[in-house]
Amino acid sequence: MKRHRTAESAEPTESAEPTAPTAPAGPSRRRVLGAAGAAGTAGLALGAAGGALATSAAAEPPTALATVGRRRIAFHGTHQPGITEAAQAHGHLLAFDLVAGAGRKEAAALLRRWSRVAGALMAGEVPPGRLPDTGIALDAGPSALTVTFGFGRTFFDRTGLAAHRPAALEPLPPFSADALDPKRSDGDLWVQIGADDAPVAFHALRALQREAAGTARVRWQMSGFNRSPGATAAPRTARNLMGQIDGTNNPRETDEDFGRRVFVPAGGEPGWMADGSYAVLRRIRMLLDDWERVPLADQEKVIGRRKSDGAPLSAGPDGTETTPVDLAGRTADGELAVAADAHVRVTAPETNGGAAMLRRSFSYHDGFRDDGAPDAGLLFVAWQADPLRGFVPVQRKLDRGDALSRFLRHEASALFAVPGGAEKGGYVGQRLFEG
């Protein structure tokens, strides 16, 4: 009988193949469940709580996982996971602050524990931990889980590592449209979790939070979502909560300059950030009540693309999402086809001295505000080798005159240094702590 891919059993498919094998050799969650009651394996692996959870399961070999559960992404590698892969259906973004008395040694130990836990979780295994596993993700495969770790500006002072702080972590400049909540901004440490299954994502969140106890405390947490795999007939670019296809003109891994735009080069400063990247996070609330009153043709002018299929307004009726935008294109009346303040014109690399970033965002909905408006929008996450040559110039330009900005409120902001990936047997940030 088929089993899903685990560290012990490989059943590769194109989408399930990790780019590199993961190190932890913990028991597969489904294998543990299937073997419950047999030779006490489950009790050993899960502790008392997990063993109790598993006793009702039949001692049968696990059946094949459905597509969503099978997909496994490697934890170890040149870059951390969660940057270049398509954003998953469920995401959690969390910032932690070190607790009083926790310094460099404690932080390094935490990153070591977090890396072990993340590697196991991403392989679909029961994570090692100081407490018995919660069992939240029992039965499920890896489900494309990724866990990504970053360091905020304040981390370096608190750990005596100020001399190693990247210059790129200078605070972002203020923008006129900012209405930032400091309690939901910044932070010493950042964890980005994504998975195509909601319990798998929450399981990771709890496992990582529990490992932090005594060293770091959650400062803020935001949860988001994207379309579930399989919801469309074929994989499509995501839509945001304004209904637009969003992500079309992202840099592609096949672009000649992709690596240079997104990742810090070897030989870059500081040395420990080689192969790392900088993540800018903005919680951007959408004024959906206002937006939804705007007629379709005007909504399309705001962006510069058709809503139905994402084709640029500079293309004719046969244009598609992938038709290149012609910023000089004119309508029959001689007007610019993509308006002077259209979002795609204002943000295009051509109008920003080549500035580009990889956008990998999650939508969010956190209920309703006192006035009845949805508290909903975009957890905008932008990846770049240098925020001063990616996010900052583009946001400055948006601030000065972008048709979309009047429907948006930037409510939280953070910037994190995300080091390169961990080697097998190593941990994220090792070069910072030990280099």
Which residue's CB is nearer to ligand L6N33NVT, number 211 or number 246? 246
Q: Does residue 306 interact with ligand L6N33NVT by CB under 6 A? A: no
Helix (H) or strand (E) holding 279: strand 277-286
In the bound state with ligand L6N33NVT, the residue whose beta carbon lies nearer, of 65 and 403, is 403
Query: Least separation, in Å, of the C-beta of 200 and ligand L6N33NVT?
Result: 27
Q: With CB under 6 A as the contact rule, which of the stretches 38-46, 77-85, 99-107, 239-247 interacts with ligand L6N33NVT?
A: 239-247
Residue 344 binds ligand L6N33NVT (CB under 6 A): yes
Q: Residues 186, 188, 196, 246: which is the catalytic one?
A: 246
User: At which residue do the structure tokens 């964890």 appear?
Assistant: 191
User: By rule CB under 6 A, what string of x and - marks binding of each residue 63-92 to ligand L6N33NVT?
Assistant: ------------------------------
Do 128 and 120 touch, CB atoms closer than 8 A? Answer: yes
CB 143 within 8 A of CB 173: no
Window 312 to 341, contacts with ligand L6N33NVT (CB under 6 A): 325
- Told to check if 380 binds ligand L6N33NVT by CB under 6 A, we report yes
Q: Do 89 and 37 form a contact (C-beta atoms < 8 A)?
A: no
Q: Which is nearer to ligand L6N33NVT, 206 or 307 (CB)?
A: 307
Report the candidate in 282, 318, 50, 68 with the shortest Cα–Cα distance to residue 195.
68
Binding flags for ligand L6N33NVT, 252-291, as an x/- string (CB under 6 A) = ------------------------------x-x-x-----
Q: Establish whether 246 is a catalytic residue.
A: yes
First to last CA, the chain: 47
Stretch binding ligand L6N33NVT (CB under 6 A), from 147-155, 166-174, 195-203, 388-396 = 388-396
Q: How many CB atoms lie within 10 A of CB 317?
A: 6
Q: 49-82 in b/e burial notation, b at 16+ Cβ within 10 A?
A: ebbebbeebeeeebeebeebbbbbbbbbbebbbb
Which residue's CB is nearer to ligand L6N33NVT, number 151 or number 380? 380
- At position 33, the amino acid (one-letter code) is L
Q: Please identify which residue in 97, 188, 197, 246 interacts with ligand L6N33NVT, judged by CB under 6 A.
A: 246
| Burial zone of 109 (CB within 10 Å; 0-12 exposed, 13-18 middle, 19+ buried) | middle
* CA atoms within a 13 Å half-sphere pointing along the CA-CB vector of 135: 17
d(CA 412, CA 114): 25
Chain residues in the site for ligand L6N33NVT (CB under 6 A): 240, 242, 244, 246-249, 282, 284, 286, 303, 305, 325, 343-344, 347-349, 377-378, 380, 391, 394-395, 398, 408
Q: Which residues are catalytic?
A: 246
